[in-house]
Structure 1
């Protein structure tokens, strides 16, 4: 009788001790260093599948709540794309832009595995144009 109770109990205890793997996987690269990181990150005929999975890595499992992010950066006319993990939320929401004298950025976050492979152009075209215009007016 004890063996009928102990076997399921041991199985439940074993499953409770297993890690659930709650970490998110994000593409982590910079087009400044790795040219394959630049946009477009996918082939035209397969827009839902990145050109490469070699940058897809788990974010650290250090107790912080991570999300994926994609940063479009224009540094003195040099365009860069940075894909990474992030943990600090921005008060402006999921996407925001910054305009400084030396560089402009447009940052978007998402929270599913590999979601920072997507193109931001549908949203960011207007944001980037307005950021450049604002930088010109402020200069």
Structure 2
């Protein structure tokens, strides 16, 4: 009985920590239409999107970024997307999935910084990271949970 409980607990911990093959989940909002999107950020009322969901991401970015970033190339179908937080000169906060270079993740923000419309840009590659703050589990935590389960089962 105790052995099956530990096995189930170990499996639950692993499933909570390791999400194989999943894409990045980001907040997607605009503080002009949702005041909760601004700072201070109220994540409970903001939609999370899967950055691999091209229809969601491309449609949203076309609606909210096109007027802001005239001449900037974004929405490249199939490109790796990361969470971005963009603040305009007028104070509007945008939280979106945007393409970026995996080996130099700040490339998009550097390009956006050249626009006179952008006051701040940040990029991150963890789930929910373009919100106020987030907790993320590590591989070391998963290994520790497995080791503890092994020791418990051994005795």
Return the TM-score normalized by structure 2.
0.47
Residues 46-102 of structure 1: per-residue CA shift (max 9 Å, x gap): xxxx3x15321211246431110000111xxx31000000113397936543352xx
1:110 aligns with 2:124: yes
Question: What secondary structure does 2:91 align onto?
Answer: strand
- Which structure 2 segments of 5+ residues have no match? 1-19, 55-77, 134-155
1:81 aligns with 2:93: yes
Task: Give the CA RMSD over aligned residues.
Answer: 3.0
1:35–1:82 distance in 2 versus 1, CA, 3 Å: same
Find the partner of 1:58 among 34, 37, 50: 50
What is the aligned partner in structure 2 of residue 129 from structure 1?
A: none
1:105 Cα offset (Å)? 2.9
- Which structure 1 segments of 5+ residues have no match? 1-19, 43-49, 120-139
Aligned pairs, how many? Answer: 88
Distance 2:36 2:118 in 1: 22
What is the aligned partner in structure 2 of residue 12 from structure 1?
A: none
Higher Rg of the two aligned structures: 1
Return the TM-score normalized by structure 1.
0.51
Question: What secondary structure does 2:41 align onto?
Answer: coil
Residues 109-136 of structure 1: per-residue CA shift (max 9 Å, x gap): 00000000137xxxxxxxxxxxxxxxxx
Runs (4+) of structure 1 exceeding 4 A deviation are: none
